[in-house]
Structure 1
Amino acid sequence: MRDFTVKKNIELLQEQKLHYIIPIHRNNKIINFSPLEKAAFKKTVKTYFAYQDRIIWHYEYQREGQNIVTFLGEKLRVKEESDYLLRIQKYPETHSEDRYYDKLHSFGTLSIVYDLEGSPTSKQLYEAYKQRNEIEVMFDSYKNFLAADKTFMQDRHVLEGWLMANFIAMIAYYKLFWRLKEAKLLSHYAPKDIIELSKSIYQMKINGQWHCSEITEKTKTLFKKIKIDYLK
């Protein structure tokens, strides 16, 4: 493989008899972009799956003794194309129309080389790779979703309580992640989606009796799949 870093990493993993999924830089010559260079590439590829309400096209092949899969996300491709075209005017020294056309077939792609037991499907490989950033996602959720990266506490005991509350919140968030994973729903929902749905469920007191707010059948079915019962 021409990318020395990837090749060296693979050699080390193979020496230790370890399995791996490794992304490949788009400029690596081992990647076969020829199917995407065709005008009607979808008729050639014909294989796709849904991931978090996005369609991912993919095709598998072998080069230099390695198993490779190239994925294409349409939404990502459109975004990257637009971003590059906008940068031509801002950064003409590093971006140009010629370079744009050179990169056109690689926008929105992800190529991985892998060695795993069994015969994983392309979707399983894609989902496994996407899970690599679980730590980053958790930190992002901690900072942005839970807004727990800043504290103005000045009392030591209050600060310790604040940290403990955030720690428990992160445990709950991660449990949601695993329930979605076990139910094979990660391609459709993220933990924050479940939290947002939960915000609309509450108890109200009417004439001295507590009543649960209305829950749609779709939400009930979803919660049942991930073993959450708000009706108890």
Structure 2
Amino acid sequence: MISETNREIESPANAKRFGGDIFYVLESEIQIGDVDAYGYVLFNKKREGLETNSFYNRSIDIECAIDGKEFRNPVDQFKRTAGNFERYFEYTLEGKTIHLSLYRERDEVEKKFDDLKNELEVMPLRVQKVETLQGLLFIFFISLILRAILLRRAREAKLLDKSSIEEILMELSKLRAVKVGGKWRLTEVSKKTEDDSGEDGN
């Protein structure tokens, strides 16, 4: 029910006031076993903000406590420090130093995947075969993987301090490759595109 009502629940028509707070309320029919029933989905933006704030405060505390630091047993230290937040982080080890992959990177990909899912809601009306839809899903999935790789490399190169990921993609889209003498070569690269691709040109 939550998934089905996610896009429409914040409509002004669904706003109700209770105890001075605004709740968005949607009623929906639902079948529980053989019983037809009615369910209600409630959404409160104030509570969402508080929970989001609490979540990121805790995740940043974890990052500050262990990211880039050396421990005698880094894996055990990560598990103790992260606790039930462990599933929101990925980490790599460099000797006994632990490096966290930020949850925010994963969150960025999940948001983009949500965008794709919303766009795909009309896709079955435009394709004639299940195989075609599966192909589209596969292409979207690969694009998300590539975006995640680019996002990570852009962050490591500190490119996100001066450009958004969308601006970087726009510049990279200007690149063209031609085959000369059996080898692929890039055409002339603009100064901004060269800067966005990193000082070493990679």
Give the TM-score band, short-chain normalised.
0.3 to 0.5
TM-score, normalised relative to structure 1: 0.36
Relative contact order, higher structure (CA 8 A, sep 6+)? 1
TM-score, normalised relative to structure 2: 0.40
* Larger fraction in strand: 2
